[in-house]
Amino acid sequence: MKNADLVGTWRERGREIVLADGSVKADVPRTSQIMYTPDGYMAVVNTPKGRKRVSETTPRMDLDATSAAERAEAAIGVVAYAGRFEVAGDEVRHTLFAAINPNRIGDVQRRHITLTGDDLTLASPPDAQGNHFRIHWRRADKMKD
């Protein structure tokens, strides 16, 4: 597999947690999009579905016009990062240069790739307990909004 195979915009179709014993359980429903560019950049935004709207003192893209409590609640479960990507074999590596969690900047996130037509599955490496997650994506232009 090569970088060009992932280039484009993908929308999440669903995700699951695969437990060490092989059993699978659904994760919380999410609204997610990941993009890969021809020149090796990527970005992902991943939010829980059904987040409560916030009150704003002025319309903004960030949450700075809300209270600290609302900012904290709105950020729970949000994953957002951007950086470079590289495909090596059946793995993609995301090297982060921006992230909602500042502790992740500079990290390399590795994901196992399964690509079948317009469907992509990215799976994390197992954690210390042997569990991992899988996110199922479809090319955005093939999704119904």
Mean pLDDT estimate for the chain: 94
Task: Give the mean pLDDT of 92-121.
Answer: 97
Percent of the chain with pLDDT over 90: 78
Tokens of 36: 């890969």
Higher confidence at residue 145 or residue 48? Answer: 48
Q: 3-142: which CATH number, 3.40.50.2000, 1.10.1380.10, 2.40.128.280, 1.10.3720.10?
A: 2.40.128.280
Higher confidence at residue 61 or residue 18? Answer: 18
**For residues 138 and 53, what is the distance between their CA atoms, to the nearest angstrom?**
27
* Burial of 42: CB neighbours in 10 Å, binned 0-12, 13-18, 19+: buried
Look-up of token digits 């955005």: 140
| Residue 54, pLDDT score | 87
pLDDT category at 123 given cuts 50, 70, 90 is very high
Residue ranges of domains in the chain: 3-142
Give kind and range of the element (H or E) at residue 73.
helix 68-75
| Residue 145, pLDDT score | 64
pTM of the complete model: 0.90
**b/e for 49-78, b at 16 or more Cβ within 10 A?**
eeeeeeeeeeeeeebeebeeebeeebeeee
